Amino acid sequence: MGFSTKERFENLKCCVIIPTFNNCQSLENVIVGVLKQTSHLIVVNDGSTDETANILKKFPEIYLIDFEKNKGKGKALKVGFKRAISLGFKHAITIDSDGQHNPEEIPLFLDEIEKDQGAIIIGTRDLSLENIPQNSGFANRLSNWCFNFFTDISLTDTQSGYRAYPLDVMKRIRFISGKYEFELEVLVRAAWKKASLRTIPINVYYPPKEERITHFRPFKDFLRISILNSIFFTWTILYIMPFRLLRKINKKNFSEFIKDNFTKSKDSNIKIVISVSFGIFMGIVPIWGYQLITAIALAYLFRLNKPIVIVAANVSITPILPLILYLSYLTGGLVLGKTSVRITSLAGASFHSIKNNLFQYIVGSFVFAFALSIATGLIVFFLLKIFRKKTGMVN
């Protein structure tokens, strides 16, 4: 005989969290619907100024958190997670208080939690329905695209508030946002932590336009979302994408990378050579901290082979960096006609040791970068002529 829904909540140590702000018209029905499923309910009253407080007095059995002033949905959820953890819960299902979500679908989330207790489960809405506001559909598509760029994972509804969270995962992440943008941040940060993400289809109810209540502030909230996306974009370009590519190379092994991007690539020999040379050049020029982001941006702009550019730009990885610095400095001495070179060994090559001769190093790094990129490009060109001819590839 199967367990009841309330028994499943007990077995999974699961609760429900409702963040609410000025949704007195629908809040009571949502609470009643949830209490039919479980008594483990946390409501975070995010500084509501309507009749919310009076409605909440009808439910003394719930765990209530009251904010004197509105702090934002993200803050409400984070405080709700903290309370759930302190009460000994391992999972939390979040549901909005505006009546869009059906509490009767809560067992669907329990099904998925039982399959994977470490996963974040997202209830995905069908946003193609006729009554869905156009701005909601556009915002969700933009959010989905950003999430895919940041994580290389495709989701169809990254803005849905109907979710289940493993609280152990939430404890391990330090979030930086506190309002609407939190629900994108939590997915991105969880994906970067290698947490499992699962989706289930859910129904959604949007009331007629004249009855809808929204607390989204177009300018302020869009600005906050844009700032968060800018931070994630920079981190993705500088750190996530290079390591994501290197992991892929490791998984597929180096020979597969060579086959896909060189010998059996659809790109012409010239494009491959330029990609290699450009990557080498960008990996050496002295714009530390901006080498990869600049290389990737220009690779997109000039339609180069991006994986090749990223790999080639890693020529200045830590074990090789002292050699790069040393040879750049020596090259600068030759170009400027200096007969004495203060750094006489590779061991002496460091940022500290060349700071007094910075101009020599900068000049030398550009010349050395250009020379090495040309030399590498020529070697790659002749190798492509040999090996692509054998495999039947043409320019």
**Residues in the chain, overall count:** 395
Residues 315, 175, single domain; the answer is no
Among 206, 235, 264, the domain-final residue is: 235
Which tokens sit at 384?
A: 């492509």
Residues 27-43: what's their mean pLDDT? 97
Both 214 and 308 in one domain: the answer is no
DSSP state of 19: E
Q: Is residue 85 part of a domain?
A: yes
Residue 247: inside a domain: no
Separation of CA 211 from chain center = 35
- pLDDT at position 353: 52
| 335, part of any domain | yes
The CA distance from 346 to 329, in Å, is 11
186 lies in the same domain as 261: no
Task: Report the percent of the chain where pLDDT is more than 90.
Answer: 51
Nearest to 202 by CA among 297, 121, 257: 121
Torsion angle, alpha carbons of 265, 270, 271, 277, to 10:
110
Region 242-267 average pLDDT: 75
pLDDT at 349: 47
Domain annotation covers residue 245: no
d(CA 170, CA 81): 8
Residues 282 and 284: their CA atoms lie apart, in Å, by 5
Query: Cβ contacts of residue 53 below 8 Å, gap of 6+?
Result: 45, 66
Mean pLDDT of 95-111: 95
Residue 366 counted as domain residue:
yes
SS3 65: strand
Mean pLDDT across 87-94 = 97
Which secondary-structure segment (H or E) carries 123? strand 119-124
Say how far apart CA 86 and CA 284 lie, in whole Å. 51
Answer for the pair 42, 67: CB distance below 8 angstroms, yes or no: no
Q: How confident is the model at residue 227 (pLDDT cuts 50, 70, 90)?
A: confident
Q: What is the pLDDT of residue 235?
A: 77
**pTM (predicted TM-score):** 0.66
DSSP 68: S
pLDDT score recorded for residue 337: 81
In sequence order, the 6+-apart residues with CB closer than 8 A to the CB of 11 are 3
- Indicate whether 76 belongs to any domain: yes
Residue 135, exposed/middle/buried by CB under 10 A (0-12, 13-18, 19+)?
Answer: exposed
Residues 171, 265, single domain; the answer is no
Secondary element (H or E) of residue 190: helix 182-192
In a domain? residue 67: yes
DSSP 241: H
258 neighbors 380 (Cβ within 8 angstroms):
no
Q: Is residue 246 part of a domain?
A: no
Residue 221: its pLDDT value, please? 59
Which of 94, 126, 96 minimizes the C-alpha distance to 30?
Answer: 96
Q: Annotate 270-336 with DSSP letters as a single string.
A: HHHHHHHHHHHHHHHSS-TTSHHHHHHHHHHHTT--HHHHHHHHGGG-TTTHHHHHHHHHHHHHHHH
Q: Same domain, yes or no, for 314 and 184?
A: no
- Residue 252, pLDDT score: 59
Whose tokens are 């009643």? That residue is: 32
Q: Are residues 226 and 284 in the same domain?
A: no
Can you give the residue range of the structural domain that contains 57? Answer: 5-235
In the listed set 235, 264, 289, which residue is the last one of a domain according to the structure? 235
How far apart, in whole angstroms, are the C-alpha atoms of residue 223 and residue 226? 5
Q: Which of 132-136, 179-183, 201-205, 231-235 has the lowest mean pLDDT?
A: 132-136
pLDDT band at 346 (very low <50, low <70, confident <90, very high): very low
For residues 16 and 151, membership in a common domain is answered with yes
Residues 229, 326: one domain? Answer: no
319 versus 201: which is more confidently predicted? 201
Does residue 281 sit in the same domain as residue 196? no
The domain tally of the chain equals 2
- For 246, other C-beta atoms within 10 Å of its C-beta total 15
105 and 216: one domain?
yes
CB 168 within 8 A of CB 117: no
pLDDT value at 222 more than 90:
no
Please give the Cα distance from 318 to 391 (Å, whole number). 35
Do 185 and 268 fall into the same domain? no
Find residue 106's DSSP bridge partners: none
Q: Which of 360, 182, 382 is nearest to 273 (CA)?
A: 382
Residues 31 and 90 in one domain: yes
Find the helix packing angle between 306-313 and 269-284, rounded to 10°. 30
CATH number at residue 75: 3.90.550.10
Type of residue at 199: T
